């Protein structure tokens, strides 16, 4: 296969741009790649083997069943621990951050925060789901057990972030702060191949993605923006198209490629929105900025928010620059809640 570049080759090539790089981050991305392949294999057969059943129940072989989100959590954690570049992991599936206590892990310089299987309620209906990850350099001394501070860093400190989308094809998309690159999985070869180098989102998009069923509970500014999207102004390409899968990674990925905005605002039910700052919004915000778009909580840049809690939620507006700015201006003009 001439000209085909694998994820592994691409990572090494990029690492060579930094002559003093230790290779630790490359190796860490390699372990994410491995865990993604394992989870992908399991997701692909979710309808065949009864793995989507309740935790604790038994399958026909008498093995205890595990839900796919817990399965993904275990696989990603194990991959991180095995490779010695990570000293701790925070996950949507874990109440507290997990620290690795082997000497080699304690000497590692990175922590990782992840949502191992986002949108997992979609698996039973064969809709795409994803893994989201965010990598930071620890701030605690090397050789010690990582602390809360290592995990509660603002998003602007991320050294890498990415997602895996388990969709009609499986893709891994990541950034280390030098553009955002996508790799499509070839199951026959078992490799991720470079398919989308240096992606850029259009500055203006025509897709808006939001759970409109919650309309009545949205802040006034968001309601006004939705009506703006629906107005008949052909010169401005409005009305826009509404697309909402209900799986952040899939909605984000489509909007990234086509131009658009994804919104999960505060609602009367979720005053801080639903999505989690540390392992959903920050990595997506980093990726989006690398693609030339922006990410906001409606007023402020997501990446500058100082986190206070591991599982903190935040309203989230991400996508094409002019669309996010437009909703921000409506929020400013109509500050009333609900
Ligand atoms: P999860 O982490 O529990 O899967 O929830 C996150 C998901 C996102 O993928 C998706 O965009 C959102 O929740 C959908 O929420 P809703 O069903 O309220 O629209
Ligand atoms: Mg999630």
The CA distance from 215 to 74, in Å, is 37
Of the given ranges (9-18, 62-71, 285-294), which has the lowest mean pLDDT?
62-71
Nearest to 157, CA basis, from 310, 285, 262? 285
Q: Whose CA is nearest to atom 2 of ligand 1?
A: 118
Which whole number is the average pLDDT over 116-123?
88
Ligand 1 within 6 A of 215 CB?
no
At residue 57 the predicted structure's pLDDT band, cuts being 50, 70 and 90, is low
At residue 149 the predicted structure's pLDDT band, cuts being 50, 70 and 90, is very high
pLDDT at 122: 83
pLDDT at 64: 52
pTM of the full structure: 0.94
Which whole number is the average pLDDT over 15-23?
74
Using one digit for the tens of pLDDT, what is the confidence trace for 169-210? Answer: 999 999 999 999 999 999 999 999 999 999 999 999 999 999
Determine the distance separating the centroid of ligand 2 and the alpha carbon of 19, expressed in angstroms.
Answer: 36
Taking the alpha carbons of 210, 271, 302, 163 in that order, is the dihedral positive or negative?
A: negative
Determine the distance separating the centroid of ligand 1 and the alpha carbon of 246, expressed in angstroms.
Answer: 6
Which whole number is the average pLDDT over 13-29?
81
The CA distance from 215 to 222, in Å, is 9
Average pLDDT, the chain: 92
DSSP assigned state of 141: P
Ligand 1 within 6 A of 214 CB?
no
pLDDT at 45: 80
pLDDT at 120: 84
Which whole number is the average pLDDT over 287-309?
98
Please determine whether the domains at 7-196 and 207-333 fall in the same fold group of CATH: no
pLDDT at 52: 53
pLDDT at 124: 79
Residue 292 has pLDDT above 80, yes or no: yes
Instruction: Provide, rounded to the nearest whole percent, the portion of the chain with pLDDT above 90.
Output: 78
Using one digit for the tens of pLDDT, what is the confidence trace for 68-77? Answer: 889 999 999 9
pLDDT at 58: 54
Q: Is 13 annotated as a binding residue?
A: no
The torsion angles phi and psi of 191, rounded to 5 degrees, stand at -130, 150
Determine the distance separating the centroid of ligand 2 and the alpha carbon of 5, expressed in angstroms.
Answer: 31
Q: Where are the domains of the chain?
A: 7-196, 207-333
Q: Which atom in ligand 1 lies closest to the alpha carbon of residue 251? A: 11
The CATH architecture assigned to 7-196 reads 2-Layer Sandwich (3.30)
Ligand 1 within 6 A of 282 CB?
no
Q: Which atom in ligand 1 lies closest to the alpha carbon of residue 122? A: 4
Instruction: Provide, rounded to the nearest whole percent, the portion of the chain with pLDDT above 70.
Output: 92
pLDDT at 228: 98
* Higher-pLDDT residue of 292, 19: 292
* Strands in the chain per DSSP E: 86-91, 98-99, 110-118, 129-137, 160-166, 170-175, 180-186, 191-196, 207-209, 241-242, 261-264, 294-296, 316-319
The CA distance from 7 to 13, in Å, is 10
Ligand approaching nearest to the C-alpha of 215? 1
Of the given ranges (48-57, 247-256, 305-314), which has the lowest mean pLDDT?
48-57
Q: Is 211 annotated as a binding residue?
A: yes
Residue 65 has pLDDT above 70, yes or no: no
What CATH number should be reported for the domain whose range is 207-333?
A: 3.40.190.80
At residue 336 the predicted structure's pLDDT band, cuts being 50, 70 and 90, is confident
């Amino acid at each position: 296969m001439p000209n085909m570049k694998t994820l592994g080759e691409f990572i090494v090539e990029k690492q060579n741009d930094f002559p003093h790089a230790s290779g630790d981050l490359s190796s860490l991305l390699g372990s994410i790649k491995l865990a993604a392949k394992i989870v992908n294999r399991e997701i692909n057969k979710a309808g065949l083997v009864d793995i989507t059943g309740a935790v604790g129940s038994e399958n026909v072989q008498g093995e205890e069943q595990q839900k796919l989100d817990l399965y993904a959590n275990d696989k990603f954690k194990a991959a991180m621990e095995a490779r010695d570049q990570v000293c701790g992991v925070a996950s949507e599936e874990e109440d507290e951050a997990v620290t690795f206590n082997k000497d080699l892990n304690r000497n590692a310089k990175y922590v990782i925060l992840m949502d191992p299987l986002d949108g997992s309620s979609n698996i039973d209906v064969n809709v795409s789901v994803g893994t989201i990850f965010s990598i930071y350099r620890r701030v605690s001394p090397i050789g010690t057990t990582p602390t809360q501070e290592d995990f509660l860093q603002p998003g602007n400190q991320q050294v890498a972030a990415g997602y895996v989308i388990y969709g009609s094809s499986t893709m891994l998309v990541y950034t280390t702060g030098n553009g955002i690159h996508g790799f499509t999985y070839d199951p026959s070869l078992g490799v991720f191949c470079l398919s989308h180098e240096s992606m850029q989102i259009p500055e203006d998009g025509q897709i808006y993605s939001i759970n409109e069923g919650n309309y009545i509970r949205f802040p006034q500014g968001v309601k006004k923006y939705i009506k703006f999207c629906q107005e008949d102004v052909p010169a401005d390409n409005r009305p826009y198209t509404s697309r909402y899968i209900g799986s952040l990674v899939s909605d984000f990925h489509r909007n990234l490629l086509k131009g658009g905005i994804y919104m999960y605002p505060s609602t009367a039910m979720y005053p801080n929105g639903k999505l989690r700052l540390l392992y959903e919004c920050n990595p997506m915000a980093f990726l989006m900025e690398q693609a030339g778009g922006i990410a906001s909580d409606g007023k402020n840049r997501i990446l500058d928010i100082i986190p206070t809690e591991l599982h903190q939620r935040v309203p989230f507006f991400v996508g094409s620059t002019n669309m996010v700015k437009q909703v921000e201006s409506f929020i400013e003009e109509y500050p009333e809640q609900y």
